[in-house]
C-alpha cells in the first residue's frame, strides 16, 4: 500500500505568484466512491493547488474573461467546463457542494488534458489499434448523422397502418392461460391421466407444478395474446380454437412440459398496444427505406464486385469451409472484394461484417461462395454502411466543424485508453499476496452481511423519543409502546419487531449502523433516522464479522488490482503535472463564475449511497 503524498508548500500548478486559495492532497474519499471509475475517480490523488486570480495582472499570463485554467498550451474555457459537468454521467458527478465540487470537476478535466497531451506526444493516436477503433466510431457517427437528417424525416407511420397491423397480429383477443408445468413428458402424461379421471386442475397445479408462482394461483399464468402464446410454445391453432375450460395438449417449452387450459378471455383496444406497434412499424419502415436509399446510392456510386477478390475468397472457402478472419492470409484479407467510386471493401472487412451480424445468417452465407451468395450477404452486411458513409461525405457532414471536433475528441479518448493500457493495465496484477494485503487493510469491505431483529418505536421528534424513554423508565414495555406509538404501520401489529438487514441499509444507513453497533438487549436512542427518531432494542443479531480470506479471495484480487491501477494512474498524473512545472494555472474567480451554485445543485446526484460521502471540507 502506497502512502499519502505530502502537499508541497508552493503551488506546482501556478505560473502566477498569487495567493494560494485551497489545496487537496491525495484524498481518501475517492476510494470509497464505488460508482466512479477511470480518470474521474483518481484525479483527486493529484496535488492540485488553486490560485486566486482576482482580475489583476499577476505574471506573464494574466487572467481572461471566461478562461478557467491553462494546462501547458491548452486552455480550459468556462463553457467547456460547463459542458463537461452537464454531460458527465450521474454516477461520476461530485457529491460535494460549492468550491469542493468545482475543484473536483476541474481536476477531472485537467487530468484528461494531461493524459491527452501525453498520448499525443507518444503518437498513440496513430497506432493501428487506435486508428481502427477511431475509424469504426467515425463511420458509425457519419451513418447516424446521415440517417437522422436524410432518412428518418421521410419515415411516417399512419393511423391506418397501425390499425391494419393491430388486426393482422390478432392482438384484439387475450385469453387467460393456466398451466401445470412438469419436467418430463412422462410426468405430463400422468397429469393428463389424472385430469381425465376428474381431478381438479387448480388443486393438481398446486400439488405438482414446478412453476411455483402460478402453482399457488391454481396454475393461472395470466392473460396472453397470440404472439405471447406462440412464444410459450402454444400453437396458433390451439390458441384460436381450444374451448375455454377444456384441457389442451401437452406443450413442450424450454426444458419442461405444460398441460394447459384457457379460462376467461377479453377484448383489448388498440391503444394498449399503440406504443409497441408504433415502434415496430417505424423500425420496419426505416429499415425498408434505408435499404432502398442504399440501393440507389450503390447504383450512383458504381458499386461492383471485384472478380479477383471473389476468387481469392472462394479459394479460402474451398479449404476452410465457413471462412473466419483467422483463416484469411494477409494478402487475401487486403484484396478488394467490392469497389465503388469513393472506395472499396476488402475481403477481410467483408468476412468480419458477415460474422458480426446474425449468426444464423452468417452460417448460411457460406453454403455457397459464388457471386450471387456473396452479393446477397453484402447487401445486408457491408453495402448499407458503405453507402450511407459515402453519402454523408458527399453531403459534407464529415467537414462540419462540430463533427471534426467530435472526431478529435474521440481520437484523443481512445489514445488515452491506449496510454492507460500501456502504463497501467499491463503493470497491475491481482496476485494472492496483493489480495491478502488489501484484505487486511480493508476488513470493512469483507464483512458478513449483518441481520438483526429489533423492537423499535419510531416517532416524529426527539422530544417524543425522550418521552418514550421516560415511559420505559416507569415500567412500560417497549413492545407495548410500539403497538400504539410507532410510525411504522407494518410493525405495529408485531409489537414493533422488525428485521434490519442489507435492504434496510440501502433505505436507512443510519439505523443500520446504529443497530450494528448497539449492545444486545439494551434500549438505545434517540437515534435520528429516516422518518424521525428511533428508540430500539436489539433482541438478536448475526453476521457483521469479517469473512475468511479464502471465501473472498477472488473479490480481494479484483479490488487489489483496481487499487493498484488507481495508484499507478495517480502517479502518472503527478509525473505529467510535474513535467509541466509552472505552465499550469487555475483562475479561481473564473472557476466560480463558470460553475455557479445553481448549476452544481442541478448536477448533484439525486441520492448519496451509504458510506460514499466525501471528507468534509475537502
pLDDT in tens, 208-260: 999 988 988 999 999 999 999 999 999 999 999 999 999 998 999 888 999 99
The residue count for the chain:
618
pLDDT bracket for residue 111 (50, 70, 90)? very high
Grid coordinates given for 476: 412500560
Helix (H, G, I), strand (E, B) or coil at 416: helix
For 303-341, the DSSP string reads: -EE-HHHHHHHHHHHHHHSS--GGGS-HHHHTSEEEEET
Q: How far apart are CA 365 and CA 360, in angstroms?
A: 9
Quote the pLDDT of residue 380: 86
Q: For residue 486, give Cα distances in angstroms to 350, 465, 479, 525.
A: 69, 10, 10, 14
Helix (H, G, I), strand (E, B) or coil at 535: strand
Domains contained in the chain, CATH given: 20-122+564-603 (no CATH), 174-267 (3.10.50.40), 448-542 (3.10.50.40)
pLDDT digits (tens, 9 = 90+) for 5-40: 333 322 323 323 232 222 233 333 233 333 334 444
Q: How far apart are CA 327 and CA 337, in angstroms?
A: 16
Determine which of 146-150, 459-463, 503-507 has the lowest per-residue pLDDT on average: 503-507
Is the model's pLDDT at 610 over the cut of 50?
Answer: no
The distance between the two most distant Cα atoms of the chain, rounded to a whole number of Å, is 99
For 211-271, the DSSP string reads: -HHHHTTTTEEEEE-HHHHHHTT--HHHHHHPPTT-EEEEEEETTEEEEEEEEEEEE--GG
Q: How far apart are CA 394 and CA 248, in angstroms?
A: 61
Helix (H) or strand (E) holding 140: helix 128-146
pLDDT bracket for residue 263 (50, 70, 90)? very high
Is the model's pLDDT at 562 over the cut of 90?
Answer: no
Q: For residue 199, give Cα distances in angstroms to 176, 196, 205, 217, 453.
A: 20, 7, 10, 16, 44
Mean pLDDT to the nearest integer, 166-195: 92
Is the model's pLDDT at 585 over the cut of 50?
Answer: yes
Cα-trace Rg, the chain:
33
Q: How far apart are CA 224 and CA 206, in angstroms?
A: 21
Quote the pLDDT of residue 56: 37
How many Cα neighbours within 13 Å face the side chain of 258?
Answer: 23
3-state secondary structure 296-311: HHHHHHCCEECHHHHH
Quote the pLDDT of residue 320: 78
Q: Are 124 and 425 in contact (CB under 8 A)?
A: no
pLDDT digits (tens, 9 = 90+) for 489-504: 888 888 889 999 888 8
pLDDT digits (tens, 9 = 90+) for 32-85: 333 334 444 444 444 343 333 333 334 446 678 899 999 999 999 999 999 999
Q: How far apart are CA 170 and CA 167, in angstroms?
A: 5
Q: How far apart are CA 260 and CA 262, in angstroms?
A: 7
Quote the pLDDT of residue 10: 28
Q: For residues 380 and 544, which has the higher predicted lDDT (pLDDT)?
A: 380
pLDDT digits (tens, 9 = 90+) for 453-503: 999 999 999 999 999 999 999 888 998 899 888 998 888 888 889 999 888
Quote the pLDDT of residue 384: 92
How many Cα neighbours within 13 Å face the side chain of 384?
Answer: 21
Q: How far apart are CA 306 and CA 311, in angstroms?
A: 9
Task: For residue 20, list its beta bridge partners.
Answer: 51
Mean pLDDT to the nearest integer, 134-159: 95
* Residue written as grid cell 488515452: 416
Vertex 608, ends 511 and 514: CA angle to 5°? 15
pTM over 0.85: no
* Residue written as grid cell 502566477: 16
Is the model's pLDDT at 520 over the cut of 80?
Answer: yes
Q: What percent of the chain has pLDDT over 90?
A: 56
pLDDT bracket for residue 367 (50, 70, 90)? low
Q: How far apart are CA 10 and CA 7, in angstroms?
A: 9
Quote the pLDDT of residue 61: 63
Mean pLDDT to the nearest integer, 419-434: 84
Q: For residues 457 and 4, which has the higher predicted lDDT (pLDDT)?
A: 457
Q: How far apart are CA 351 and CA 313, in angstroms?
A: 9
Quote the pLDDT of residue 611: 37
Residue 615 phi, psi dihedral angles, 5° rounding: -60, 140
| Burial group, residue 194, by CB count within 10 angstroms (0-12, 13-18, 19+) | middle
Quote the pLDDT of residue 365: 64
Chain mean pLDDT for the chain? 84
Quote the pLDDT of residue 606: 66
Amino acid at each position: 500500500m502506497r502512502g499519502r503524498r505530502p502537499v508541497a508548500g508552493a503551488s506546482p500548478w501556478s505560473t502566477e505568484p498569487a495567493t494560494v486559495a485551497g489545496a487537496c492532497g491525495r484524498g481518501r474519499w475517492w476510494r470509497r466512491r464505488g460508482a466512479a471509475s477511470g480518470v474521474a475517480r483518481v484525479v483527486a490523488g493529484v496535488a492540485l493547488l488553486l490560485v486566486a486570480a482576482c482580475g489583476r495582472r499577476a505574471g506573464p499570463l494574466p487572467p481572461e474573461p471566461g478562461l478557467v485554467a491553462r494546462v501547458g498550451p491548452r486552455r480550459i474555457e468556462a463553457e467547456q467546463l460547463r459542458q463537461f459537468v452537464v454531460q458527465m454521467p450521474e454516477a461520476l458527478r461530485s457529491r460535494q457542494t460549492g468550491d469542493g465540487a468545482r475543484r473536483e470537476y476541474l481536476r477531472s478535466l485537467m487530468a484528461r488534458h494531461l493524459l491527452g497531451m501525453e498520448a499525443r506526444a507518444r503518437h498513440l493516436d496513430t497506432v493501428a489499434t487506435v486508428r481502427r477503433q477511431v475509424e469504426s466510431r467515425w463511420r458509425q457517427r457519419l451513418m447516424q448523422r446521415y440517417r437522422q437528417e436524410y432518412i428518418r424525416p421521410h419515415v411516417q407511420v399512419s393511423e391506418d397502418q397501425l390499425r391494419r397491423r393491430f388486426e393482422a397480429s390478432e392482438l384484439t383477443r387475450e385469453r387467460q392461460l393456466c398451466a401445470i408445468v412438469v419436467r418430463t413428458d412422462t410426468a405430463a402424461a400422468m397429469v393428463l391421466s389424472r385430469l381425465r379421471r376428474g381431478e381438479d386442475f387448480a388443486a393438481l397445479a398446486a400439488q405438482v407444478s414446478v412453476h411455483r408462482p402460478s402453482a399457488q394461483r391454481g396454475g393461472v399464468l395470466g392473460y396472453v395474446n397470440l404472439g405471447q402464446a406462440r412464444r410459450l410454445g402454444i400453437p396458433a391453432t390451439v390458441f384460436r380454437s381450444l374451448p375455454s375450460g377444456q384441457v389442451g395438449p401437452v406443450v413442450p417449452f424450454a426444458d419442461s412440459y405444460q398441460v394447459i387450459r384457457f379460462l376467461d378471455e377479453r377484448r383489448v383496444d388498440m391503444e394498449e398496444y399503440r406504443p409497441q406497434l408504433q415502434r415496430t412499424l417505424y423500425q420496419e419502415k426505416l429499415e425498408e427505406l434505408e435499404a432502398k436509399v442504399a440501393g440507389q446510392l450503390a447504383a450512383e456510386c458504381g458499386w461492383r464486385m471485384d472478380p479477383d477478390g471473389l476468387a481469392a475468397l472462394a479459394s479460402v472457402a474451398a479449404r476452410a469451409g465457413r471462412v473466419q478472419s483467422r483463416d484469411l492470409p494477409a494478402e487475401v484479407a487486403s484484396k478488394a472484394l467490392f469497389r465503388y467510386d469513393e472506395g472499396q471493401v476488402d475481403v477481410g472487412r467483408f468476412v468480419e461484417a458477415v460474422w458480426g451480424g446474425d449468426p444464423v445468417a452468417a452460417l448460411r452465407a457460406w453454403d455457397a461462395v459464388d457471386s450471387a451468395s456473396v452479393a446477397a450477404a453484402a447487401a445486408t452486411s457491408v453495402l448499407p454502411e458503405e453507402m450511407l458513409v459515402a453519402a454523408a461525405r458527399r453531403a459534407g457532414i464529415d467537414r462540419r466543424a462540430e463533427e471534426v471536433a467530435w472526431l478529435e475528441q474521440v481520437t484523443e479518448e481512445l489514445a488515452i485508453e491506449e496510454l492507460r493500457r500501456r502504463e497501467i493495465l499491463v503493470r497491475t496484477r491481482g496476485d494472492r499476496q496483493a489480495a491478502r494485503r488489501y484484505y487486511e487493510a480493508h476488513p470493512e469491505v469483507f464483512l458478513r452481511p449483518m441481520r438483526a431483529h429489533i423492537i423499535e418505536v419510531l416517532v416524529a421528534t426527539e422530544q417524543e423519543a425522550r418521552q418514550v424513554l421516560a415511559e420505559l423508565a416507569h415500567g412500560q414495555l417497549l413492545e407495548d409502546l410500539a403497538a400504539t406509538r410507532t410510525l411504522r404501520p407494518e410493525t405495529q401489529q408485531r409489537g414493533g419487531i422488525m428485521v434490519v438487514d442489507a435492504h434496510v441499509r440501502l433505505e436507512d444507513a443510519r439505523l443500520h449502523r446504529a443497530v450494528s453497533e448497539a449492545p444486545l438487549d439494551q434500549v438505545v436512542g434517540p437515534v435520528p433516522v429516516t422518518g424521525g427518531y428511533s428508540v430500539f432494542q436489539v433482541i438478536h443479531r448475526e453476521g457483521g464479522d469479517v469473512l475468511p480470506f479464502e471465501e473472498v479471495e477472488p473479490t480481494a484480487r479484483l479490488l487489489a488490482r483496481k487499487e493498484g491501477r488507481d495508484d499507478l494512474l495517480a502517479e502518472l498524473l503527478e509525473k505529467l503535472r510535474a513535467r509541466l512545472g509552472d505552465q499550469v494555472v487555475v483562475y479561481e474567480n473564473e472557476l466560480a463564475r463558470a460553475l455557479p451554485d445553481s448549476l452544481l445543485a442541478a448536477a448533484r446526484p439525486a441520492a448519496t449511497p451509504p458510506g460514499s460521502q466525501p471528507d468534509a471540507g475537502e
